[in-house]
Amino acid sequence: MTDVEPPPPPSTSSPPPATAPIAATSYIHPRREPFEHGLIPIPKLIFTDGTQTLSPLKDKLLHRSGQTRRVNSSDIADTFQISPDNARLVLDTVASVLHSDSDPLVTAKPSEIDSVGVDVSDLILFLYVQSYKRLLPRGHKDSAAVADVWPSTSAFDGFLSALSPLQLVRSNSRRFMPSQADEEAHQLSYLQKHLGNILSLLADSMEGESKGDESLLFTHEKGLITESTSLDVHLSVKHNKVLTMEKFEHLAFLIYFGEKGSERIPLSQNAPFFANSDPDMPAVAVPAAQVHDWLLENILSALEHISERASSKENGPTGASDQDVPMTDVGATSIKASTSARGPSFIEGISKSSYVKQASDLQGSYIKVVNCHESVIYILAPLRYATVYGCSDATIVLGAIGKDLVYILGVRVEHCERVHVIVATKRICIANCRECVFFLGVNQQPLIVGDNHKLQVAPYNTFYSQLEEHMNQVGIEATINRWNEPVALGLVDPHDSLSHPAGVSDVQAESATRLDPDQFTNFLIPNWFGGESSGSTKDNPFPLPDVYMASQQRNHKNLGELKQILRETPLEDSRKRELSSALHVYFKEWLYGNGLESFLVLYLPVWSKAKPDKQPGNSGS
């Protein structure tokens, strides 16, 4: 890093002045997708030296791509010296977080992704943000009160190892989990710091200029510190680097203007230097420095706005629609969900209850299930992506998770213990979980990272009436289920901000084993809503492997024989009641013995036909 003030530019050669930020009511935002769902813990893909390594690698990719400017997994594997499986994982992940519905990779079927390939500019931006580190959780106020450590043999020696999922509920997790505003500010600060490097990778040299200057970066200017080699770099970049409108649009991979829930306007239409361009004529390239200054001003304006909002929350009452309200602080009669037009929907703090949300109950297409325990939670809706965090002894059923017009995202399950997750999704990432079972209908290989213990995977095992309709909406193919092909990466996630013991980063994560077919059962979603929801799905749309189908048929046969015996056994009413009680006792013991104690909540008032989240016994307390 060079922290030297550059000399003032001569007045005769000053660059075009930066244009003021766009209307004050429209702020720049980081796209959540690449920062939350686009990070892969592969050390060879994390470049901490800015453009020094990425710039020549970009040239190699462009050479291999020819006129198409697109590369496939073979090109990626050879260029970055990674395995073909990891290269395909890169391609799948880029496809999952791309921003443009006009890119053929977004609409490609799983079998077509490799032949379609990825645009080199999008790939370079994706690889650059692999250097991003997630925001460290706020410190626990009473660490001495934390007696036991979860997991006991965790590689983590920082914050997360100090609290088990059960302790998260006692500690009111969202008080020390970063808020959505915290994360957005952290991501904007990252972009602010690295903006010069990012633009340098996208920009072209002016005609007649030497390619030798392409690695030159911005120097200390307006609070931005990046690498430089001499004091005249500032002027060289100002005059040698330009951005075309096409290259500028690739920045939409990382940023956007406006509010979520509203129609996205092309990024170039927000930029005054491209906004009035004739669609039938190629726009004139703009000096990279002008783009840099304009974006930097907008980032600073957005950071100030976030700071002002945070101050107003601290000094005044918080609105009911505020996405950062800790739900454990509201009254016991309140539902355990909060939504925002921009932020995700939260389902939080559900305890010893069953809870249902359908598509009509949710705003937006991103949901976070946080800090739920000993409960059964049903999210029966098509979603872009979902996060399950810090839950224990629960069963969570997620509807179809995949692409919504543009996006092909998925599910992230993190820091959970003894949780059963049932989901149909494009992709799933499992991190730092213990004794969890995943019943999957998944089109891409499940990704397992971090410190995991005793994970099991099994084929998808349920349905609800609108499932196939929701799967069609988000682009999930029932004929492709890669539930039994998990990919385990590093024991340590290099994208977190925690410190780790030396050498642990080279250890591979523990993978998942297949569930014993004899323990496989169908999961029945109760029809609490009667005629309120209609759909054509009558059975599990994902075909079961033969060994699981045979086990299921044996179970059905045994159940039918048992029912027949009970029907043919003459019993007085008192004996029938005794038998019924005995069956309930043995059933509860079976639930406990198979790690399904969360289903005991079904013995609460949920037996009635009322909606589960409306029942008096389901306050979550």
What tokens appear for 449 in the block?
A: 């990272």
Q: Cα–Cα distance between 14 and 58 in angstroms, integer?
A: 30
Q: Indicate the pairing of strand 337-338 with strand 345-348.
A: antiparallel
Residue with more model confidence, 103 or 1? 103
CB 466 within 8 A of CB 473: no
Domain hosting 217: range is 1-22+180-313
Confidence band of 540 (pLDDT split at 50, 70, 90): very high
Mean pLDDT (the chain, rounded)? 75
Span 428-443, average pLDDT: 93
Check pLDDT > 80 for residue 199. Answer: yes
Alpha helix (H) ranges present in 129-232? 165-170, 180-202
pLDDT given for residue 546 in this prediction: 95
What is the share, in percent, of the chain residues with pLDDT greater than 90?
33
Q: Cα–Cα distance between 593 and 584 in angstroms, integer?
A: 14
- Look at residue 338 and tell me if it is in a domain: no
Long-range pairs for 454-457 at CB < 8 Å and ≥24 separation? Answer: 455/430, 455/510, 455/511, 455/512, 455/513, 456/512, 456/513, 456/514, 456/515, 457/483, 457/484, 457/486, 457/512, 457/513, 457/514, 457/515
Q: Cα–Cα distance between 136 and 158 in angstroms, integer?
A: 10
Confidence band of 141 (pLDDT split at 50, 70, 90): very low
pLDDT given for residue 166 in this prediction: 46
Residue with more model confidence, 408 or 499? 499
pLDDT given for residue 358 in this prediction: 83
Q: Indicate the pairing of strand 437-442 with strand 455-459.
A: parallel
pLDDT given for residue 15 in this prediction: 47
Confidence band of 226 (pLDDT split at 50, 70, 90): very low
- Look at residue 238 and tell me if it is in a domain: yes
Residue with more model confidence, 235 or 205? 205
- Look at residue 269 and tell me if it is in a domain: yes
CB 202 within 8 A of CB 214: no
Bridge partners of 367? Answer: 345, 386
pLDDT given for residue 236 in this prediction: 37
**Chain mean position to CA 354:** 25
9-18, 66-75, 220-229: which has the highest mean pLDDT? 66-75
DSSP H or E stretch at residue 459: strand 455-459
- Look at residue 48 and tell me if it is in a domain: no
Q: Cα–Cα distance between 417 and 113 in angstroms, integer?
A: 34
- Look at residue 592 and tell me if it is in a domain: no
Check pLDDT > 90 for residue 597. Answer: no
Confidence band of 434 (pLDDT split at 50, 70, 90): very high
pLDDT given for residue 196 in this prediction: 94
φ and ψ at residue 422, rounded to 5 degrees: -120, 115
Residue with more model confidence, 19 or 226? 19
| Number of structural domains found in the chain | 1
Confidence band of 409 (pLDDT split at 50, 70, 90): low
- Look at residue 433 and tell me if it is in a domain: no
- Look at residue 272 and tell me if it is in a domain: yes
Residue with more model confidence, 597 or 446? 446
Confidence band of 161 (pLDDT split at 50, 70, 90): very low
* Model confidence pLDDT, tens digit, residues 331-362: 333 334 544 445 578 888 899 888 888 877 87
Check pLDDT > 80 for residue 539. Answer: yes
Q: Supply the DSSP symbol for 89.
A: H
34-38, 211-215, 436-440: which has the highest mean pLDDT? 436-440
- Look at residue 511 and tell me if it is in a domain: no
DSSP H or E stretch at residue 420: strand 417-425
DSSP string covering 19-63: PPPS-TTS-EEE-HHHHHHS----GGG---STHHHHHHHHHHHHH
Give the start-end residues of each E strand in 322-416.
337-338, 345-348, 354-358, 366-370, 376-380, 385-389, 392-401, 411-414
Q: Cα–Cα distance between 368 and 386 in angstroms, integer?
A: 6
Span 511-532, average pLDDT: 82
What tokens appear for 170 in the block?
A: 């006692």
pLDDT given for residue 333 in this prediction: 30
* Model confidence pLDDT, tens digit, residues 470-503: 888 888 899 999 999 999 887 766 766 555 555 5
Span 129-143, average pLDDT: 70
